[in-house]
Amino acid sequence: MKQTDFLNTVLPFKDKVFRLAKRLLVSTDEAEDATQELYLKLWKNKNKLENYNNIEAFAMTMTKNYCLDQLKAKRSNNLSIVHSNYKDNNISLQRDIELKDSVSKVHELIEALPEKQKLIIQLRDVENYEYEEIGKILDLQPTAVRVALSRARKTIREQLIKQHNYGIS
């Protein structure tokens, strides 16, 4: 594979790789290192990449595995999802505070989910991957991905309803 072919193949999903690494490792510096490490590995194996149908899914799987190895090495479990794709400049201060509290509560509830459900929510709801792609990345059947995502969303929904009905944090 030529250098230009390699770059045209792997550069389009560089941001997704970084966001997944950032999601798993939390630290921007560590996520940048993970992204760089992944691209170095892809470059070293560029001639083998033609054997893969979905190079992006392969790269995301490599990223996930690399980050999980890094976390195991550090024995760290402090994961967080960074999600800030909503912004409206016409919101009152009170409403802005309520929205931030709600987003914070959702982040908190996601943190309480099992690891696999956290990853599935990140990949599906934040990164917009299809069920089949998530299945390839996490080595699961698409049906299992749907079930896990449904359970995760249901858990979050129930906890939010409980909080709003009772005012309990």
Mean pLDDT of 124-149: 90
Task: Answer yes or no: do 51 and 101 share one domain.
Answer: no
Handedness of CA 157, 158, 163, 164 (dihedral sign): positive
Q: Angle at Cα 72 formed by Cα 66 and Cα 74, nearest 5°? A: 105
Q: How does the average pLDDT of the chain come out, rounded?
A: 80
Structural domains counted in the chain: 2
Q: Tens of pLDDT along 26-60?
A: 888 888 998 898 888 888 877 787 777 788 888 88
Which residue in 16, 14, 9 sits closest to 128, CA to CA? Answer: 16
In a domain, 83, yes or no: no
Q: Please, what is the angle between helix 14-25 and helix 55-74, to 10°?
A: 20
Task: Answer yes or no: do 144 and 116 share one domain.
Answer: yes
Domain that holds residue 144: 93-166
**Could you tell me the CATH number of the domain that includes residue 112?**
1.10.10.10
- pTM for the model stands at 0.53
Token digits of residue 93: 């201060």
In a domain, 87, yes or no: no
CA–CA separation, 130 vs 77, rounded Å?
26
3-state SS, residue 127: coil
Q: Angle at Cα 140 formed by Cα 41 and Cα 19, nearest 5°? A: 45
